Amino acid sequence: MIKTWFITGASRGIGAEIAKAALAAGDNVVATGRDLARLETLFGCYGERVLSVQLDVAQEGQAALAVEAALRRFGRIDVAVNNAGYGQLGPFEENDVKAVERQFATNVFGVFHVCRAVLPVMRGQRSGHIFNISSIAGVAGMGGAALYCSAKFAIEGFSEALAQEVAQFGIHLTIVEPGAFRTDFLDNSSAALGGKGLQDYIEFSKKIKASSAANNHKQSGDPAKLGAILVRLAAEEAPPLRYLAGSDALQVVTGKLAAMGREIEQWRDRSLLTDGDFS
């Protein structure tokens, strides 16, 4: 069966490669993003198989309109990919409340808005698959990315709970946890860096900037390969709840789980001290 994919943040990076992989598999794509002209340039050659739609996921009304446009063209949505997002970097105290609000408006509420728009369609179909693009930063906290981590941790909890709610309707949900992928994520056009200039954080912030510059466009992950994998996962009868993408993702998350296990065992006796004796 030919599937229809609804992809946010499809104008570049991972989102664009997921769209290309779905098209290579013979599926239809609703490619959404804030830059409509860029979408049309990228996907115009695919003709009627692609619908390019301007969408700022932070605007709930736009998400609903984009889904309506998708249904008018293709009649259904089989796969939704919540990929749109960016990294608000820098120490927490270096970022003001506006930076916090912008990060959550896109990376958290944007996911909520799209899910709220596509879920009635998928419930009506009694089928569908949602991919929420998280990050290893949603599993293991990273100093210098407190806001980005908090947004991705929110997506992890939301997705795990939502998966349990919608399974009864034949809807699958997979949390994708990429490591570092070779995209423009660290470019100035994508990442944002808090800049209050607090004296205590000057050296720490310098290290963050230096690390970002050193790793930019040298990451080990291949976005095209990730796109191909997601197409394969969308064909699975029993897809995973979580998919770790990349050897670095495996290393970080297995290390985090091992450390958690050791700490749990170290403090096990005290964990048991809070149970009440109510008999």
Q: Which residue has the tokens 């970022």?
A: 95
> For the chain, how many residues are written?
279
| Residues 256, 140 contacting (CB under 8 angstroms) | yes
Q: Which residue has the tokens 């490591």?
A: 179
Catalytic residue set: 134, 148, 152
CA dist 238 → 97, 111, 114, 162, 170 (Å): 41, 23, 23, 16, 11
